[in-house]
Structure 1
Amino acid sequence: MSIERLRTPEERFSVLPGFPYCPNYVDSLEGYDSMRMAYIDEGERDADTTFLCLHGEPSWSYLYRKMIPVFVEAGHRVIAPDLFGFGRSDKPVREDVYTFNFHRNSLMRLIEHLDLKNITLVCQDWGGLLGLTLPMDMPGRFTRLLVMNTAIAAGDGASEGFYHWRNFSISVPEIPVGGLIANDARSEVNLFDIVAYDAPFPDNRYKAGVRRFPSIVPVDPEMEGVELGLRAREFWSKTWSGESFMAIGMRDLVLGEKVMEMLRGIIKGCPEPLKIEEGGHFVQEYGKEIAEKALCHFKLSLAVTEK
């Protein structure tokens, strides 16, 4: 099936002082009609550990700009893809293209394409909704989890804050991406950051994914992704044997402390979370502290690896 898509002009990304990373592209993912996916690949290709950083809605890999250098400087590889519809990746025009399995499968194909192993899954928002369903079907590839402000949706409802957000997203003529993230992250986001978050979307035609994502979170029993969510909950509670670290942006009204404590109860062996009191939904804006403390917890910091 041919997928009509838009590609954001590269000049839209010409002013990114906080994100000096060259994009990599793949257009050969099986089942994706030669659509181009962008991803950041930093650090040594033969590093023992790979940090796979998955963004959510309506951001892109730029959200990890404060965490990437911490991981790289500690000697690790970082892969940070842009989901289709976001960042530098191609953007399907039709909203019905955006489904749970469409995005989940694209991440699986990318992991296989890059043959990633010893993966530390770093995820938030949709990065977690999708990412937390991956390890159960990719045995042997994932060894650690760094999880922030997300959930495993399995058809049993969501927070009141989520329903407010979903209603907002389907009622406004256009979602103001940069302003939305700036309002959430407050002083951690400057004018250049707002420009960067708006960069993938020259106009509203490019925002099909931004509009669609809130409506496909599997919160009702009949929705696509529910079965995967149920399996994922089973996996994380009974099968997972890796290390975990959790950070919570405490001001998040959608996926905040209550939701995250429920998730912590599912993840076997997940320790007490790092609580970022001033952090909101986009808690990666406080990512330097999170990355440093996660590395320390995992005993993967440069000071440890050099001993």
Structure 2
Amino acid sequence: MTILRTPEDRFAGLPDYPFAPHYIDIDAGPLGMVRQHYVDEGPRDGPVVLMMHGEPSWSYLYRHMIGPVAAAGFRVVVPDLIGFGKSDKPVDRDVFSYARHVAWLTQFLDRLELRNIGLFCQDWGGLLSLRVVGLDPDRFRWVIASNTFLPLGGTPAPAFLAWREFAATSDSFAIGPILQRATVRTLSDAEVAAYDAPFPDESYKAAARAFPLLVPISRDDPGAIDNAAAWAGLERFERPFLTLFGDSDPITAGGDAYFQAKVPGTRGQPHAIVERAAHFCQEDRPDVFVEAIKALG
């Protein structure tokens, strides 16, 4: 099995990303050991805040949130999922599955001995980490969910089906422009290039192309069955659970109401629809999310 590692010089001089790299080896079963990168800022004895990116971004997405949250006394941990960012990248799309990504995330949390976690999750960062919350709720002290969901199958939106088809079949899957199309503000050329940095060519993009196909769209999909078990835990989760969804994201619109109806920890929380925020809301309104994290503590 071929596993690629993005050359370090691809990450030189990225705007607003001064964070020291940290690495651990993850046991990926038949793949062997793969190296996973993560950001780890702030006091090591501070309350843990885990920030989970999705598809096809990486920890760079949180660059405007990491510093202010760490400066407020939190330990901020931001992993790059396997196949993204500075983490190793298997080249075979078939090695990626929903269950494997959850297992790798769980192993990451165990290896770093992270407990009493405050979680901020968006996009696939939610599909992965919210399953972990549902299966191991005592590990988390609060959750902020933004532009994400935990799917049980069903009829997907036409826009999502078009995205699946594009990810699977397009000749060119340019990551930076994808991020730009799903933000409100205009990214600089250097920021667009930073999202492209982990992927020197198409061979590095197997995970990025695979992720949309891993979203369960039928109730008998193994991912939907596993998510049903996680929902049983989320429906008993009474710790704070806050939804902050962007007002300009057609893919996840309405997901906030579903969480609010199902998760008891959402009661009494200051939920909001964040204005001028598209799917990659961390690019558009990081200030709103930083303040929410600090308020939950």
Indicate the TM-score class for this superposition, using the shorter chain for normalisation. over 0.9
**Is contact 2:72-2:294 (8 Å) kept?**
no
Query: In the alignment, which residue of structure 1 is the partner of 2:131?
Result: 133
- Select 1:250's aligned residue among 247, 252, 262: 247
Counterpart mapping for 1:32-71 below 5 A:
33-47=32-46, 49-71=47-69
Q: Per the alignment, in what secondary structure is the counterpart of residue 202 of structure 1?
A: coil
Q: Deviations along 1:69-128, whole A, 9 cap, x unmatched? A: 121011000110001110000011110001001110000001000000110111011000
Query: In the alignment, which residue of structure 1 is the partner of 2:141?
Result: 143
Query: In the alignment, which residue of structure 2 is the partner of 1:304?
Result: none
Deviates more, 1:158-167 or 1:108-117: 158-167
Name the count of aligned residue pairs. 294
Change (3 A) 1:128 1:170: same
Query: In the alignment, which residue of structure 2 is the partner of 1:269?
Result: 265
Distance 1:185 1:160 in 2: 20
Query: In the alignment, which residue of structure 2 is the partner of 1:303?
Result: none
**Is contact 2:137-2:237 (8 Å) kept?**
no
Q: Per the alignment, in what secondary structure is the counterpart of residue 114 of structure 2?
A: coil
**Is contact 1:245-1:297 (8 Å) kept?**
no
Relative to the length of structure 1, the TM-score reads 0.91
Distance 1:273 1:13 in 2: 36
Letter in structure 2 aligned against 1:38: H
Shift of 1:130: 0.8
Instruction: Give percent identity, aligned residues only.
Output: 36
Query: In the alignment, which residue of structure 1 is the partner of 2:72?
Result: 74
Structure 1: gaps (5+ residues): 301-307
- Select 2:86's aligned residue among 70, 85, 88: 88
**Is contact 1:70-1:291 (8 Å) kept?**
no
Q: Deviations along 1:250-300, whole A, 9 cap, x unmatched? A: 1111112x23222332222313522222111101113432223313541x2
**Is contact 2:3-2:90 (8 Å) kept?**
yes
**Is contact 1:152-1:263 (8 Å) kept?**
no
Letter in structure 2 aligned against 1:184: A
Deviates more, 1:274-283 or 1:180-189: 180-189
Whether 2:255 is the aligned partner of 1:259: answer yes
Distance 1:74 1:102 in 2: 34
Letter in structure 2 aligned against 1:263: F
Query: In the alignment, which residue of structure 2 is the partner of 1:116?
Result: 114
Change (3 A) 1:248 1:139: closer
Deviates more, 1:55-64 or 1:181-190: 181-190
Letter in structure 1 aligned against 2:217: V
Distance 2:24 2:285 in 1: 27
RMSD across aligned C-alpha pairs, in angstroms? Answer: 1.6
Distance 1:28 1:89 in 2: 10
Q: Per the alignment, in what secondary structure is the counterpart of residue 222 of structure 2?
A: coil
Query: In the alignment, which residue of structure 2 is the partner of 1:225?
Result: 223
Query: In the alignment, which residue of structure 2 is the partner of 1:305?
Result: none
Relative to the length of structure 2, the TM-score reads 0.94
**Is contact 2:148-2:252 (8 Å) kept?**
yes
**Is contact 2:135-2:233 (8 Å) kept?**
no
Change (3 A) 1:40 1:287: farther
Q: Deviations along 1:122-163, whole A, 9 cap, x unmatched? A: 101100011100023335321100110000111223333212
